[in-house]
Amino acid sequence: MFNDVTVFNIREYLSGGDSTDLGEEELRKLLSEFSCEKNPDVERFLKQQSIEFTKKQQSVTYLVFSNEDTALVGYFTLAIKPITVKAGSFSNTMRRKIARVGELDEVNGTYMLSAYLIAQLGKNFKDGANKKVTGEQLLQAAVDTIKELQYMAGGMVIFLEAENEEKLLKFYEEKNGFKRFDTKEIKRGTEDAHTLVQLLKVM
């Protein structure tokens, strides 16, 4: 339990196939109750891709429920990904921390390392469920889950990619201690390319 919410790994619905499993059909029914018009990609991933990605070990999705009334209030998805970080982007103290888990490319002045990726993070806006959890609570639930993984497997860097919007970047940087380290151009179908800001945090 984290911050008045309970975090539930969707593997609990999928693993093993024995009589104790909750079942994929029940999971899909639950996911159908999620709505996020503000960010259709967040909704689409949960409903159309999260189960297959979890089955294929590409990522794992966690559902977040309110402890008050067990409403589905949001979700997050975690994965482990390699990243390249420019050494000059950070203070000496942070560079020393990154150096512990990264490999320095002296020619390019970059570190290569594996990090915990918060691949998705979204609130459920159906029937006002979003009002039962704050963005800070949802993000902290993801960070606390990563800390449990860190205890078992090591690692110390979290990263995520955010839309280049001032309010959103303030949320990650000023309120939650993430630091920018790069940008990424993405293009989907016929849409114009746009920029995602990559941010990291050392635990």
Rounded to whole angstroms, the Cα distance separating 27 from 33 reads 10
Higher pLDDT, residue 188 or 54: 54
pLDDT band at 87 (very low <50, low <70, confident <90, very high): confident
Residue 190 is predicted with a pLDDT of 59
Reported as half-sphere exposure (CB side, CA atoms, 13 A), residue 182 has a value of 12
- For residue 96, give the nearest of 149, 180, 157 by alpha carbon: 157
Question: Can you tell me the mean pLDDT for 1-17?
Answer: 79
Average pLDDT, the chain: 90
Instruction: Report the range of poorest mean pLDDT among 4-8, 85-89, 135-139, 155-159.
Output: 85-89
Over residues 92-106, the pLDDT tens digits come to 888 888 888 889 888
Domains and CATH numbers, the chain: 5-202 (3.40.630.30)
pLDDT band at 19 (very low <50, low <70, confident <90, very high): very low
CA 120 to chain centre: 4
The vertex-151 CA angle with 63 and 116, nearest 5°, equals 55
